[in-house]
């Protein structure tokens, strides 16, 4: 996913994660949100984007999972921000 597209997707997801944390979502809502978070990170080409870190933090804070591989990839570049 091109960086500008990722930034737009991340902004929308971050807002939705804040509105619908995992503990207050229905099972179906939680599954859909988790799938969208996973898909966003699969499409991430530039792991130095600040929005990638913001999305990771928002997902974890809302009770959703971020794969260990994604977290490792982001941590490799986190010192640059």
For 60-79, how does the pLDDT look when each residue is reduced to its tens digit (9 = 90+)? 999 999 999 999 999 988 76
What's the pLDDT at 15? 96
Instruction: Quickly state the pLDDT bin for 81 (edges 50, 70, 90).
Output: low
Secondary structure in 3-state letters for the chain: CCHHHHHHHHHHHHHHHHHCCHHHCCHHHHHHHHHHHHHHHHCCCCCCCHHHHHHHHHHHHCCCCCCHHHHHHHHHHHHHC
Provide the residue ranges of all domains of the chain, joining segments of one domain with +.
3-80
* Backbone φ, ψ for residue 25 (5° rounding): -90, 155
- Average pLDDT value over all residues in the chain: 92
pLDDT exceeds cutoff 90 at 80: no
CA 59-10-60 angle, to 5 degrees, is 10
Q: Please indicate whether residue 21 or residue 14 has the higher confidence score (pLDDT).
A: 14
Q: What is the token pair recorded at 44?
A: 């991430």
What does pTM read for this prediction? Answer: 0.89
């Amino acid at each position: 996913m091109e960086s500008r597209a990722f930034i737009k997707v991340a902004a929308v997801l971050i807002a939705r994660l804040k509105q619908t944390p995992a503990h207050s979502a229905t099972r179906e809502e939680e599954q859909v949100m988790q799938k969208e978070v996973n898909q966003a990170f699969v499409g991430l080409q530039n792991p130095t984007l600040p929005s990638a870190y913001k999305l990771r933090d928002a997902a974890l804070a809302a009770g959703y999972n971020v794969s260990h591989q994604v977290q490792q990839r982001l941590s490799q570049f986190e010192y640059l921000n």
